[in-house]
Amino acid sequence: MKRKWIVVVIALVILVLGAMGSSISQEQRAQWLENSFSEFEDQTVSEKEIQSGDPAKKVAVLDINGMIADTGETSPFEASPSYDHQGTLKALDQIESDDSVKAILLKVDSPGGTTYHSEELTKRLQEVKEARDIPIYVSMGTTAASGGYMVSMVGDKIFADNETLTGSIGVIMSSPNFSGFMEEHGLDMTVYKSGDNKDMGSPYKEPSDEEREIFQSLIDESYNRFVSTVANGRDMSEEDVRDLADGRVYSGSQAKNNGLIDEIGYEDDALAALMSDNGLDGGQVVDMTPNNDDDYFTRLFSMFSTRQAEDKAAEMSVAEEMQMIEKQINEPNTPQLYYMYGGE
């Protein structure tokens, strides 16, 4: 009931803001609303019932959809919420403390992400699984590659479609190199540094052999951890994993033939198997994914946020566009390690 009154209040505020017309910008309106009502947001992840049943035999569904990285909490004003790393970790904390949750169905549709956040999510899933002694089944979507495949290694059983793209076991790092362009146009960058490798990865110079070796050592280190994770998750030898881990993707059927997944099937198949295999038939199934649309804020502002973005784009002047481009050019863009299919 409290949440319904909150929605009524927000709706009234929107009407007031609309009546104010052009005296304040769309961006200011959105910021005011978000700041004003952030205190009303739940401190826990909401549960959206997918299938009614015995709440003492609850199955929690978590959806890992999109790039696995910590881009900050998803705003309720976003029309299409993306993967929320901190929200997902919060959901796992909640599952760990909820004795009624007897299993997790992990839905994965992700090309991967940063090595840091992919490993953090994988380790936290494993910790919750061991602390609660509960099974985790994985349902892969269209893509569950690289970091998306890594997080799937916590699964006791992995399902994928024949056409799912998975695997891509490997690490990638890239850095732009403008040195040829600068030389061609007579440009130079003066750098003062405390050591030979302080500016390694700079886009303004050709990397030295030593720098290449340093970066390669970082990549090899992350790659070895990935191989170990797959070997443990799939009960394979590291040698067998390395034979498959040259970075390529596999179809679901190829992955099954190579022992990288267990079954060909969809989400419903994975859920049915999870409940049947673990004595959870008749149990309640709830979606505990952050921003699972069981949220008044998400539904109320999805159309509003789309209109806001359109208005903002229309109002942007050429000068503002140039400033935005200049800002992007000037922002530091240090090389980042990724467990990512298709590059950064």
**Backbone φ/ψ region at 144: left (φ over 0), alpha (ψ -120 to 50), beta:** beta
Residue 47 DSSP SS3: coil
**Backbone φ/ψ region at 90: left (φ over 0), alpha (ψ -120 to 50), beta:** alpha
DSSP character at residue 84: -
Greatest CA separation for the chain: 73
**How far apart are alpha carbons 342 and 344 in whole angstroms?**
7
**Active-site positions?**
146, 198
Which among 99, 150, 162 is positioned nearest to 339, based on CA atoms? 150
CA distance readout (Å), 172 to 52, 137, 175, 227, 284: 43, 28, 10, 14, 41
Residue 1 DSSP SS3: coil
**In the beta sheet, which residues pair with residue 68?**
113
